[in-house]
Amino acid sequence: MNNGNDDTELAVISFEKALRELETIVTSLERGDVSLDDAIAAFERGTALKAHCQKRLEEAREKVEQIKLPEDGSPPAEASSFSPET
């Protein structure tokens, strides 16, 4: 069961750490050497980690889209309106 602490912890965990933990959970569940209660708790945690990783990947994709140059090589509209101070 998720509680506020789990949600807070997930909000600050890095993508890489979340992915490593998710891989550990999957391996443990695949081995089948955990009790039913532990398997359910691990599955719940894994589901939350998966959602967190998907969210972080989507955020990264959006950032990349924002900074990509148009096909003509000109700077994005936001960047072209920037005038450096002299």
Q: Which residue blocks in 1-86 are alpha helix, DSSP H?
A: 4-12, 15-31, 36-67, 77-80
How far from the centroid of its chain's Cα atoms is residue 40's Cα? Answer: 22
Single-letter amino acid code for the residue at 71: E
pLDDT of res. 11 = 86
* Cβ-contact 4, 24 below 8 angstroms: no
> Whole-prediction pTM value?
0.70
Domains in the chain, start-ordered, CATH in brackets? 4-80 (1.10.287)
- As a whole number of angstroms, the distance between CA 56 and CA 12 comes to 11
**Digitized pLDDT (tens) for each residue of the chain, 86 residues in all:** 445 567 778 889 999 999 999 999 999 999 999 999 999 999 999 999 999 999 999 999 999 988 887 777 676 666 545 555 54
